[in-house]
């Protein structure tokens, strides 16, 4: 059970030996299909542009975010799965670890408002 108030949220991830979080692997750039002739590729590209399905400049692929788990148990299960897969290819001691992140509730963004609210709440408690 958590020692943190209910409005705090705990998340878990796996830090790989290279320091990155598991799941943050960039998607490779798409490559052109050279099985078609260049004229056919040009016609296909022009058709896609005219239909609004593409542009001459290819958009950059998005990098996915890290895989985040709601419980330590789920993160540790995935870590064990990764370590087992690594052992199958000869890596005996894959050095990943489960890491934790604590997310706090959102605030107004203005510390003076939050501070004033905290002072008023404290004053009300003293009057009770």
Q: Are residues 55 and 72 in the same domain?
A: no
To the nearest whole number, what is the mean pLDDT of the chain?
Answer: 79
Residue 8 near residue 2, CB atoms below 8 Å? yes
Residue 27: its pLDDT value, please?
61
| Least confident span in 8-22, 23-37, 81-95, 105-119 | 23-37
User: What's the predicted TM-score (pTM) here?
Assistant: 0.53
Q: Are residues 49 and 8 in the same domain?
A: no
Burial of 22 (0-12, 13-18, 19+ CB in 10 A): buried
Q: Are residues 4 and 55 in the same domain?
A: no
Give the domain-ending residue among 61, 82, 111: 61
Residue 96 near residue 84, CB atoms below 8 Å? no
Q: Which residues pair with 102 in a beta bridge?
A: 10
| Domain hosting residue 44, numbered range | 28-61
DSSP label at residue 69 = B
- Give the separation between CA 70 and CA 91, rounded to whole angstroms: 28
Q: Are residues 94 and 114 in the same domain?
A: yes
Residue 97: its pLDDT value, please?
94
- Closest by alpha carbon to 8, among 116, 101, 114, 71? 101
User: What is the count of structural domains for the chain?
Assistant: 2
Only one residue has tokens 């501070």, namely: 115
Q: Are residues 76 and 116 in the same domain?
A: yes
Q: Are residues 43 and 102 in the same domain?
A: no
Q: Are residues 34 and 97 in the same domain?
A: no
Q: Are residues 110 and 77 in the same domain?
A: yes
Q: Are residues 127 and 84 in the same domain?
A: yes
Q: Are residues 55 and 79 in the same domain?
A: no
Q: Are residues 108 and 126 in the same domain?
A: yes
């Amino acid at each position: 059970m958590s020692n943190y108030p209910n409005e705090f949220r705990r998340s878990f991830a796996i830090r790989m030996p290279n320091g990155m979080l598991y799941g943050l692997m960039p998607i490779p750039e798409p490559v052109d299909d050279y099985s078609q002739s260049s004229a056919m590729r040009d016609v296909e590209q022009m058709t896609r542009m005219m239909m609004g399905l593409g542009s001459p400049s290819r958009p950059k692929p998005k990098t996915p975010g890290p895989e985040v788990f709601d419980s330590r148990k789920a993160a540790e299960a995935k870590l064990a799965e990764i370590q087992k897969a690594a052992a199958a290819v000869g890596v005996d001691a894959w050095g990943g670890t489960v890491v934790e992140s604590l997310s706090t509730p959102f605030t107004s963004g203005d510390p003076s408002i939050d501070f004033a609210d905290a002072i008023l709440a404290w004053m009300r408690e003293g009057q009770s």
